[in-house]
A and B are shown apart, each in its own frame.
Chain A
Amino acid sequence: MAVAPVEVTPGLYTPELATVLKVTPQTETETHFLLRLNQGRSLGHQPGQFVEVSVFGTGEAPISITSEPRPDDTFELCLRRAGKVTGALHRLREGDVIGIRGPFGRPFDLEQFRGNDVLFVAGGLGLIPLRSLIRTVLADRSSYGGVTILYGTKQPSELLYRDELAEWEARDDVDLRVTIDRRHPDWDGHVGVVTTLFPEIEIAAERTVAAIVGPPVMFRFTILECTKAGIPDHNIVLSLERHMKCGVGKCGHCQINGRYVCLDGPTFRFSEIKRLSEAM
């Protein structure tokens, strides 16, 4: 009492049940899951958003949604086996039931991309959140200008979505370039970090929007390349990783200076965060 009226969100931390429809191993450490909420509700997400995923009795972790919004109510997650929760998720089989909260976070602003050339740059696991946006763009291909996808991993064995990479490679309206950090016997393609692909592509800076997702060091160098190419800061869009424990602006774990990654992000224009000392 003596409390201002507040709209309480019932069940804010209570997961909805979801069933694993299909498990597709991607690499030794990454697995892809097809899921559907048990209550028949569509997740209703937009590219760039994330969910809090529960393995009941083990815990909860924030995971990016890798699928595009689609009419059949299914959605997809892909994650690396890294900790307790993601380890347990890797033991899931078809038919298992997990918990989902969300979707949370500010999605990519599709309006910003429409009508422009789109430059996707993914480093390592960064392809997972970017895939949702890539698939959304490719599903409505004529609304966009040129589409370039730059993707780099440390080793060939870490490449995700090989089938899809082959599909994108085969398309005339997509320029896909894949690179591996260091020379490797199983790889006869481009070698070097993802920024070494920039000299090979043409960027029309005035009509290009770049979407970049990767580890912090990759952000720093990729932003530099985009800036050098003349892309203005507000057309460089990033998705940042933090360990959001709540997803709803309460737990404080994802705070970057005065911003909450879970509420204000995870997608940010570079112009919004370039002065934040903790962003990258």
Chain B
Amino acid sequence: MTVGCVPKGRLTDFVCHICRGRQLIGVRQKEPGFVEFAELDSPDELVLDYVSTPLPPKAFIYPPIETLVRMRLGTAPQVETVLDETPRAIVGVHPCDLHALAQLDVILGDHYGDPHYFARRQSALLVGVDCLPDEHCFCGQVGTARAEGKCDVFLTDVGLAYLVECWSDEGREAVEGFGGLEEVTPAVLEAARARMERKLAGIEPRLSAPVEMLPMLLDGHQKASEWEDVAAKCVSCGACNLVCPTCNCFDVYDEVALSLTEAERKRRWDGCMLREFTLVAGGEVFREGKPDRLRHRMQRKYNYLYVRYGSPFCTGCGRCARSCPAGIHPVSAVNQVTASES
């Protein structure tokens, strides 16, 4: 639901208003040419016109390392679940990253709802913003260019102002009471529409088959040998896993306090591109070669989880391509493999 326009000059006031009482997470310039999601000292730091951050905002809902359980050690041990329900506002999230959170909701909510993830998720106000693509982005190819309903408040740059839409009750409550909203004119709506058109037209990487066809096509390319050419460049660094907004795999470990009387059970992001990922106690590694692991990652994003949960688990954000030291782009990889004879 569109509720009005915020002149760019009043953006800071608007952000202050909607984020009142919440820890403010937003995009800021860390150094020239480098932006990141971080806790902001002031809304003045907020950057809304950016292409991509190296790490997705996922890190504030599902942190790289988090404590799951606090433990008291000894002959009568005690355990206590640790939940983080800090009210946060995450401002400036692009549609691809909003889709990513919706996809994480599905996998982390399936069968058993992950209490640690949903504690942060349900405590966070999400403020989205539209964007324009760079040469790596391909949201338009995987259906994530628009994010209707996937955040509480959404902003679209319409020139001198931001068009404000509220997509949840929490979003409406957050905006309520802000005095500086201007009327939405037909010219504003036209500007928003034109911007979306420009975004879609600017997307360069093209899947050679519609994304809906990928599960079926990739099913025919399960042999590791078919992935050898693409994997030849891979250096198994796991950067693609690290920066991916939908990667959810983790490792679990204990950390003992110096007192030796207490410990914390933690989880940290893990990556399927690392050889040790499938190691079992007997020494067996189930995806030994780089082609096995690359195949798994691509199949997981465009086939396995797609079939299991009904949407591709890639948002076209392009982070893996931007961060890959070997320059592997998922679209080229999938095109190359599906073009070969199975």
A181 and B280 CA atoms in complex are apart in Å by: 23
If the complex has contacts A245-B250, A277-B223, are A8 and B115 also in contact, measured as CB distance less than 8 A?
yes
A57 and B74 CA atoms in complex are apart in Å by: 10
A8 and B222 CA atoms in complex are apart in Å by: 35
Which residues, 249 to 269 on A, are CB-close (under 8 Å) to B?
Answer: 249-253, 255-258, 263
If the complex has contacts A2-B171, A11-B81, A255-B304, are A243 and B280 also in contact, measured as CB distance less than 8 A?
yes
Interface pair A13/B222, CB less than 8 Å apart: no
If the complex has contacts A57-B263, A99-B79, A245-B252, are A7 and B68 also in contact, measured as CB distance less than 8 A?
no
Interface pair A6/B69, CB less than 8 Å apart: no
Cβ contacts under 8 Å, A256 to chain B: 286
Tell me, yes or no, whether A242 is within 8 Å of chain B by CB: yes
Tell me, yes or no, whether A76 is within 8 Å of chain B by CB: no
If the complex has contacts A1-B124, A215-B282, A246-B250, are A11 and B107 also in contact, measured as CB distance less than 8 A?
no
Tell me, yes or no, whether A115 is within 8 Å of chain B by CB: no
Which residues, 285 to 310 on B, are CB-close (under 8 Å) to A?
Answer: 286-287, 292, 296, 299-300, 303-305, 307-308
Interface pair B248/A258, CB less than 8 Å apart: no
Cβ contacts under 8 Å, A243 to chain B: 278-281
Interface pair B170/A2, CB less than 8 Å apart: yes
Which residues, 69 to 105 on B, are CB-close (under 8 Å) to A?
Answer: 69, 71, 73, 75-77, 79-81, 101-102, 105
Per the CB 8 Å criterion, the residue count for chain B at the interface is 73
Tell me, yes or no, whether A39 is within 8 Å of chain B by CB: no
Tell me, yes or no, whether A60 is within 8 Å of chain B by CB: yes
- The DSSP consensus for interface residues of chain B is mixed
A-B CB pair tally, cutoff 8 Å: 169
A91 to chain B, nearest CB (A): 14
If the complex has contacts A9-B115, A253-B249, are A59 and B254 also in contact, measured as CB distance less than 8 A?
yes
Tell me, yes or no, whether A135 is within 8 Å of chain B by CB: no
Interface pair B79/A2, CB less than 8 Å apart: no
Interface pair B251/A3, CB less than 8 Å apart: no
Interface pair B292/A278, CB less than 8 Å apart: yes
A37 to chain B, nearest CB (A): 13
Tell me, yes or no, whether B116 is within 8 Å of chain A by CB: yes
Interface pair B280/A242, CB less than 8 Å apart: yes
Interface pair B249/A2, CB less than 8 Å apart: no
What residues make up the interface of B, taking CB atoms closer than 8 Å to A? 68-69, 71, 73, 75-77, 79-81, 101-102, 105, 107-116, 118-119, 121-122, 124-126, 149-152, 167-168, 170-171, 222-224, 248-254, 256, 260, 263, 265, 267, 270, 272, 277-282, 284, 286-287, 292, 296, 299-300, 303-305, 307-308
Can you give 19 contacting A-B residue pairs, CB < 8 Å? A3-B122, A6-B113, A56-B71, A56-B73, A57-B263, A97-B77, A242-B280, A243-B280, A245-B251, A250-B114, A250-B250, A252-B248, A252-B249, A252-B270, A253-B278, A255-B300, A257-B222, A277-B224, A278-B286
